[in-house]
Amino acid sequence: MRMKRGLILGVFSAKGGVGKTTTVANLGAALAQKLKNRVIIVETNMTASSLSLHLGILDPPVVIQDVVFGRLKVNDAITTTDYGLHIIPGSVAFTDKLGSIDLRGILDELTKKYDVIILDSAPGFGLEVFAGMKACDELLICCQPRVPAIAGTLQTFRAVDRLKIPVFGVVLNRITGKRFEIPTSDIKRTLGWPIIAEVPEDDMVAESVTRGVPVVLHAPNSPAAVEYRKLARAILTHLKARKRIAPRRKRWLRKRGRKVK
Ligand SMILES: Nc1ncnc2c1ncn2[C@@H]1O[C@H](COP(=O)(O)OP(=O)(O)OP(=O)(O)O)[C@@H](O)[C@H]1O
Ligand SMILES: [Mg+2]
């Protein structure tokens, strides 16, 4: 059974380099193994795009910037892979002159066609980050077990709280277990949100990026791949729960004489 409307899930972190793009590529690839051709990953870092590189797409023929600047319809900006993951890449050339954008309006069309739409975002709190956040149904926050990344995560929580967007959980990435790292138990206590996956620092991730193949496909038994699959399972369970909730919500709306689409 296909859901009526796909879930727009964004991966965010104020701190750069903690693994947002790696998480989006691998979560997308792992989900696509179960939901072939029903998962799309979307670049929303308009000024410094890099998502397509993780899939080995170096010079994408169509890009999100074409859609944002009104040159292309969103459905015409999709690139497909032979493993069932779809992507709207970004221009790897530098892009500036970005005004305010309504990404929700642009991406809504994709919710008719895909079960999950995963957004990769820029770090910080620029215009494009807020445009991405506002487009999301739920968020995953990416964090590294180090002080600056945890501070960035707390800032991100404050921002999403203001926008009232639900957080699904935290992906803790690049864990080395070295003595200067903050222990996971302390991070759980500090953040107060569930940690959905604990991805170790893994050389296979760097190798997979160089090869342009997500690590879940390039080295499926590597510790990072195992953890990314665990994250995908958590999202799949969440999607199934949404399906179960939907009919109940419809009954609730009908009872109150509301129109149900
Ligand atoms: N678990 C991991 N093990 C080893 N290397 C990793 C891991 N996760 C990410 N990396 C590496 O860290 C670097 C930064 O990762 P990535 O680009 O995903 O971060 P980001 O949060 O998207 O960065 P930005 O904020 O610049 O967009 C990449 O070179 C990637 O290969
Ligand atoms: Mg990135």
Per-residue pLDDT tens digits for 175-221: 999 999 999 999 988 888 899 999 999 999 999 999 999 999 999 99
CA 22 to ligand 1 centroid distance, Å: 6
Ligand nearest to the CA of 214: 1
pLDDT at position 227 is 98
Which atom in ligand 1 lies closest to the alpha carbon of residue 15? 25
Residues 6+ apart with CB under 8 A from 250: 260
Q: Do 12 and 121 contact (CB within 8 A), yes or no?
A: yes
* Residue 247 pLDDT level (bands cut at 50, 70, 90): low
pTM here is 0.92
Note the pLDDT tens digit of each residue in 46-78: 888 999 999 999 999 999 999 998 899 999 999
What is the residue with the minimal CA distance to atom 15 of ligand 1?
19
What is the average pLDDT score of the chain?
Answer: 91
Instruction: Tally Cβ neighbours within 10 Å of residue 77.
Output: 24
With a cut of 70, say whether residue 114 has pLDDT above it. Answer: yes
What is the residue with the minimal CA distance to atom 25 of ligand 1?
16
The domain defined by 7-255 folds into Rossmann fold (3.40.50)
CA 23 to ligand 1 centroid distance, Å: 8
CA 202 to ligand 1 centroid distance, Å: 11
Mean pLDDT of 213-234: 98
* Residue 245 pLDDT level (bands cut at 50, 70, 90): low
Strands 167-175 and 116-120: unpaired
Q: Of 39, 28, 10, whose CA–CA distance to 110 is shortest?
A: 39
CA 162 to ligand 1 centroid distance, Å: 27
CA atoms of 123 and 12, how far apart (whole Å)? 7
* Residue 97 pLDDT level (bands cut at 50, 70, 90): low
The DSSP annotation for 62-117 comes to S-HHHHHTTSS-GGGS-EE-TTSEEEE---SS---------HHHHHGGGGGT-SEE
C-beta pairs of 213-217 under 8 Å, 24+ apart in sequence: 213/55, 213/56, 214/25, 214/26, 214/28, 214/29, 214/30, 214/54, 214/55, 215/22, 215/26, 216/26, 216/29, 216/30, 216/33, 217/29, 217/83
* Residue 249 pLDDT level (bands cut at 50, 70, 90): low
- Lining ligand 1 with CB less than 6 A are 13, 16-22, 123, 173-174, 199, 201-202, 205-206, 209, 224
Mean pLDDT of 229-244: 91
Which atom in ligand 1 lies closest to the alpha carbon of residue 13? 21
Q: What does the domain layout of the chain look like in residue ranges?
A: 7-255
CA 221 to ligand 1 centroid distance, Å: 19
